[in-house]
Amino acid sequence: MHLSLVTSDEFTALSHPRFPNHQVRIKKSHFCDPTVNLYTGYLDVDAGAKHLFFYFFESRRNPDQDDMMMWINGGPGCSSAMGLLMELGPCSIDMNGSSANGTTWNPHSWNEEANIFFLDQPVGVGFSYADFGETVETTEEAAKNVHAFLTIFFETFKQFSGRPLHLSGESYGGRYLPVFASEIYDQNQVAIREGRKPLNLQSVLIGNGITDISTLYPGRYEVECGTASLDVPFQSISACVRMKMALPRCQKAMEKGCIGQFDSINCRAAVNFCDSELSSAMWASGKNVYDISKMCEGELCYAENNAIKRYLDLPETRSLLGVETPANFSACSPSVGRNFAAHMDKWAVPTQYYVAGLLDRGIRMLIYAGTYDWQCNWVANKLWVDKLEWSGSEEYRAQEWRKWKVDGRIVGEVKGTDRLTFATIREAGHMVPRDKPAESLAMRILEASGDVQKPTVQPMPVIRETNMPAVTAKVAQLQNGVEPERALDLWFDDAEMVFQAETKLFRVSGRKLASISSAFDGMLSIPQPEPPETLGAYPLIRMPDSASDVSYFFRAIFHPKSFQPPPAQTDVKTLLAILRLGHKYQVADLSQRALRHLATAYPTTLGGWDSRSETRTFPPVRNFDDEFQLLRAALKLGATWAMPALFYSCGAYSMQEILSSPVWIGAGDLLIEKNTCLLGYAEQFAASLRMVKFLVQPTMEGCERPLECYPSKLTWFDMVDTWRPSIPLEIWDESDWKRFAKEVCPACLDQSRKAHRKARLAVWENLPRTYRFPPWDQLEAQKAASLGR
């Protein structure tokens, strides 16, 4: 079949005898770039239960002869629509409203000389979806779907058969792509043995990827505290000292738990320690973690992501693309990310071994990195490529660094052999094609020809930028015209600084804040604007947080008796404020104290759940808004161990309370969590019926009065609808048992109690799985590590 025969009217379904449980559905579209043919569709997996969405753009030059390329974004859980609409696709999202169709022409698209796929994978990403909540939770599992997709496509559309194939992507693509390419290579050997034509895999391109976890944290330290990216380190000296002290311990823990011998619990504890000590200062700085020359703005730190979401959620856009999922578009899926994290996918398998295996079998690898990225930085990538063990490692190490140019300008450094190339792109962030479009296209074209590593020899310089825009601690002032007022209990006459949150003023000690918080230390050490903003004779710092949260937060710091650790009591509003701001401003003692309070109400054992009335340190939450806000705050802190109990507690409210909640309605960034909550709500209803299944058993062993007991039990079963069936653990308390005991014989009472206990335990044990979290034993270990015990 020729691709040109596919129409825009409806999907054309394609299947393959080797993949009886897969099919590809494809249609022509007029989306984005009118100068080339575009096709969109779905790969249906597992007998049609999972559906992976893709875009396919033909080449602008010669689609009948040019190479084939596939692009995948990272995450895990991020849509390739980000790559399409803000990086390397034929069109870019229109950010100023100048175009009629919502996009603008991209002259540096990677389809200038290649036919290119953009694939939303795994299921749950972008417009990909599952019919019954099925998931893909490891890279190795996802690889099988990618191979099936490419095989069906190439063998159906013979015009592409035998074309050189290049896999490309960024970020978590450093984990994805070596595994995907290895699956293709291994399956090619099977195809050759069976007399079938293999996929002509030629190369893999990874931009700012995460591949070898052993070099990640040293690289981040050099970007923040060294001169690897900027002339002058941007992180505060005190934060860098703490990071420097923690780095050896971090590396030792990573080697012991993740690298030398993988152990899920030890590795997770190592990662938690390293992130806490070596990443939290960066996250609190407000800088764009993907481009240290900018501040964070919009979803995932880029305003384009908000615009892309709005554009792809338009009914006319979805119709044009043939989108079938009822869910709104999300740039990245938290649920997919959590599922992969639950399997420790990033850490469990050394992905660099896949890279070495591909190189040894003749597959070219281009590892490139923008020098302004912190998240998956160029230093970490250089370090792992330098130490990679493969058959050409000595030849690679013997090569010298060379400068490479575009239009006569030096744009980066490169080093390589005919199989492995490492390249930097100066002044680019995590998304190189977005930041340096001409350079990235030139690099891609050079890679396809095998010539990336051949520019003129020059020593590799330190990559720096000296004209970084000034960054201040000032945030946008409110424009509501309300005169600020003092918070009287947080106005200290001997304090040297004034903070403003909304219309509240707080005169407190900046020195004390800096001494307990690296975030405040870094923020207050940044040069202030000229002339500096003051209130009277005192420096004024504006905070972007709510006045209520700041009041509770500062009160906990400057009136410490107001927020003591358990068993002292607190309240929900205080707890929410400390969870949010303690984490944001890196006051570790307060954050851990807040998590200990949270643990008293949202435990990890059934015994702890049943004894909450005696152990909890804050009053029971009585409204859905507060319950859901606690869930959001705990999610942000990574308190996974509290999630099953929190999600379960959200089910205690009626569907009307949930769907009409302002917090629920406003949580557009938590679409996956909201769907999970609703799915769990339905599962809890079903669990309630299983809890009282014993009531419909006609006879029980040893029953003394079957003609009386059975009708009584049926009467009780008919009362189920009068209970709260969405909270099965609370069905039947002691008062119910006392009344029930008067209506059935002792034998039926005893058997019923046993059946109820067994069913209740099963509900508890299944709770993490209901909400897509690891089992309780793993959550308990995470809790112990999180709470320091």
Catalytic residues: 171, 373, 430
Instruction: Give the H/E segment covering residue 38.
Output: strand 38-45
Task: Single out the residue of 29, 88, 17 nearest to residue 53, CA to CA.
Answer: 29
In whole angstroms, what is the distance from residue 555 CA to residue 572 CA?
15
Task: Single out the residue of 521, 518, 490, 486 nearest to residue 504, CA to CA.
Answer: 486
Quick one: CA torsion of 264, 270, 273, 279, rounded to 10 degrees? -100
Task: Single out the residue of 43, 45, 42, 41 nearest to residue 27, CA to CA.
Answer: 41
In whole angstroms, what is the distance from residue 85 CA to residue 584 CA?
31
Beta-strand ranges (E) seen in 180-221 are 201-209
Side-chain-side CA neighbours of 91 within 13 Å: the count stands at: 22
CB 511 within 8 A of CB 521: no
Residue 422: phi and psi, rounded to 5, are -120, 130
In whole angstroms, what is the distance from residue 36 CA to residue 63 CA?
9
CB 23 within 8 A of CB 14: yes
For residues 82-110, b (16+ Cβ closer than 10 Å) or e, as one string? bbbbbbbbbbbbbeeeeeeebbeebebbb
DSSP line for 173-187: HHHHHHHHHHHHHHH
CB 129 within 8 A of CB 334: no
CB 164 within 8 A of CB 202: yes
